Copies of this chain bind each other. A is one copy, B any other.
C-alpha cells in the first residue's frame, strides 16, 4: 500500500478552491484544508468551506484569523464599495478595487508553513488565469516564482529532503470547464459561495465581478446555477 500523500489545500469556499480540493482528493491526497478569516466583509465563505470540508472528508481543517484590514488597500477589507454590473471586458482589463494586496502570497506562505509542519509535499490553490479578475497573483509565472522561493525557504526543503509542489489544476481552465470538472468529481456547488457582497442571509448580489463570472460559468457549462440570488425589485 502506498504511503498517504498529504496536501495542504487553500479553501475559500468558492467554486475554484473547492474544485482544486476535489482534484487533490481525486489524485489520492490526504486533505488538510486551510481557510482564512482575514477581515473580509462576511463569513459566508467560511461557512461554505466548513460544509465542503465535511463533504470531502478532509483530515483536518485549519481556520486561521489573520486580520488584513490594518494593511488597507482593498474593497474586500474596507468600506470601499464593491463594483457592480461590470461586463467581461471591464472585469479583465484592469485589476479591480476588490484586489487585496499580496493576498495569495500571504495565504501561500501560511500553506507553506503548514506543509512543512506536516511534511506535506503538495499545496493546492485554485487560481485561474482565464475567467478571472486579472489579479497578478493568479498567473503561472507568479506561482512558479513562489514555488522556487518556497523550496529555498524551509528546513524541510533545504535539509529534510522534501520538495514542495504548488499545484494549480485550474490555472488554464475557463470557469465553465472548472464547473464541468467539479461536477464529474462530485461537487455540489450549492455548498459554495462566491459573492463579494451578499445580503444578511448570504444570498448573492448577482451583480459583483465574482457573481458575474460565476453566472457566466454555469451558463457556458450548460449547468443549472444553484446559487440563491437576492430578488431584485422590479421597476414599476
Task: Tell whether A149 pairs with B159 under 8 Å between CB atoms, given A102-B112, A109-B109, A116-B73.
Answer: no
Contact B102 A109 (CB under 8 A): yes
For the complex, is A145 an interface residue (Cβ under 8 Å from B)? yes
Q: Which residues of chain A in 42-73 are interfacial with respect to chain B, using CB atoms and an 8 Å cutoff?
A: 62, 64-68, 70-73
For the complex, is A136 an interface residue (Cβ under 8 Å from B)? yes
Contact A137 B153 (CB under 8 A): yes
User: In the complex, which range does the number of interface residues on chain A fall in?
Assistant: 35 or more
Question: Chain B residues near A64 (CB, 8 Å)?
Answer: 67, 70
CA distance A145 to B146 in the complex (A): 8
Contact A148 B145 (CB under 8 A): yes
| Cβ contact of A117, chosen from B72, B136, B141, cutoff 8 A | B72
For the complex, is A105 an interface residue (Cβ under 8 Å from B)? yes
